[in-house]
């Protein structure tokens, strides 16, 4: 009998265009050789141009998916993406505690998705307190982009020095590690992501490709990191793996529809 691969649980929303959300997560997890499980939080009506509708899954159903999967199948890492509302965050917190995800147990990556790349909201404004107060203290790693940094901390990051100040402010909210992503530092010729554990800064430099096709880049990064954590990697090892994974996925992104196409993990399946 073949041994089961590691399992990663993604707690996230669906993107009907298949570029971001759980579709990007499952595609990435598959390419990384781990089994992906899902706790669906919302269905979005979405294509390459943006989001035109959102239907939330009832909060108790989101929580029940987590418990069902973790208690039977077992997971070695989990990640959150679009969480939609304070009610969903409040419902999943006791479920995560019940099955031992986060808070120093099974690694939990919190990607604090607040809006789509087109600017459409994916998290209610009144959910920020729950995100900061309930999820951040349980997180092994939080992975905000610069818009999310501004929403969560009030810090407008313009350069690499600000990125360090923001990392400290985010770390003070309770996560073990913080990754401040540099994709939105538009003036920077590189995409430098900054990892911080309260003591040491680790810089993860990378090229900046001149492309509009970066849909799903945050999900792909967080999922590839989660796959490495599920295999037992340390956080710095997992983030280095994820950075290499996303660089190659942006390099091979493809156009789709009239707007922004998705980053592509397919390169990993070649040869």
Ligand X SMILES: Cc1ncc(COP(=O)(O)O)c(N)n1
The footprint of ligand X (CB under 6 A) covers 12-15, 20-21, 44, 46, 81-82, 113, 116-117, 122, 215-216, 218-219
Name residues whose C-beta falls within 8 Å of residue 93's C-beta, 6 or more positions apart in sequence. Answer: 134, 135, 138
Q: In angstroms, what is the C-alpha Rg of the chain?
A: 17
Q: Which residues pair with 44 in a beta bridge?
A: 15, 54
What is the C-alpha separation between 200 and 195, in angstroms, rounded? Answer: 8
Could you tell me the smallest distance in angstroms from the CB atom of residue 65 to ligand X?
16
Could you tell me the smallest distance in angstroms from the CB atom of residue 221 to ligand ATP?
5
What is the C-alpha separation between 215 and 168, in angstroms, rounded? Answer: 28
Please tell me whether residue 47 binds ligand ATP under the rule CB under 6 A.
no
Q: Choose the one of ligand ATP, ligand X, none that binds residue 207, judging by a C-beta under 5 to 8 angstroms depending on kind.
A: ligand ATP
Q: Choose the one of ligand X, ligand ATP, none that binds residue 259, judging by a C-beta under 5 to 8 angstroms depending on kind.
A: none
Member of 74, 206, 236, 259 binding ligand ATP (CB under 6 A): 206
Could you tell me the smallest distance in angstroms from the CB atom of residue 234 to ligand X?
26
Name residues whose C-beta falls within 8 Å of residue 181's C-beta, 6 or more positions apart in sequence. Answer: 143, 144, 145, 146, 191, 193, 218, 221
Q: Choose the one of ligand X, ligand ATP, none that binds residue 44, judging by a C-beta under 5 to 8 angstroms depending on kind.
A: ligand X
Please tell me whether residue 167 binds ligand ATP under the rule CB under 6 A.
no
Q: Choose the one of ligand X, ligand ATP, none that binds residue 182, judging by a C-beta under 5 to 8 angstroms depending on kind.
A: ligand ATP
Closer residue to ligand ATP in complex, CB, 184/240? 184
| Sheet hosting strand 50-56, strand order edge to edge | 50-56, 35-47, 7-15, 77-80, 108-110, 141-142, 177-180, 193-196, 201-204
Contact (CB, 8 A) for 166 and 153: yes
**Which chain residues interact with ligand ATP by CB under 6 A?**
20, 117, 145, 181-184, 191, 193, 206-209, 211, 214, 216-219, 221, 243, 246-247, 250
């Amino acid at each position: 009998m073949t041994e089961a691969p590691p399992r990663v649980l993604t707690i996230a929303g669906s993107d009907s265009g298949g570029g971001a959300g759980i579709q990007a997560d499952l595609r990435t997890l598959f390419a990384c050789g781990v089994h992906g499980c899902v706790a669906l939080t919302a269905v979005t009506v979405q294509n390459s141009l943006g989001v035109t509708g959102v239907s939330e899954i009832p909060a108790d159903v989101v929580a029940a998916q987590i418990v069902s999967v973790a208690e039977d199948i077992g997971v070695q890492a989990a990640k959150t993406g679009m969480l939609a509302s304070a009610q969903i965050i409040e419902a999943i917190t006791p479920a995560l505690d019940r099955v031992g995800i986060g808070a120093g147990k099974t690694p939990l990556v919190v990607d604090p998705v607040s809006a789509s790349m087109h600017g459409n909201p994916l998290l209610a404004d009144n959910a920020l307190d729950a995100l900061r107060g309930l999820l951040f203290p349980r997180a092994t790693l939080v992975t905000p982009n610069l818009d999310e940094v501004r929403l969560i901390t009030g810090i407008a990051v313009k350069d690499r020095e600000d990125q360090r100040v923001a990392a400290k402010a985010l770390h003070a909210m309770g996560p073990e590690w913080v990754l401040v992503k540099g994709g939105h530092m538009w003036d920077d010729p590189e995409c430098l992501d900054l990892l911080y554990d309260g003591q040491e800064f680790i810089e993860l430099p990378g090229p900046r490709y001149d492309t509009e096709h970066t849909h799903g880049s945050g999900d792909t990064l967080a999922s590839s990191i989660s796959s490495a954590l599920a295999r037992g990697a340390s956080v710095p090892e997992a983030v280095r793996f994820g950075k290499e994974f996303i660089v190659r996925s942006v390099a091979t992104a493809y156009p789709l529809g009239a707007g922004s196409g998705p980053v592509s993990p397919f390169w990993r399946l070649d040869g």
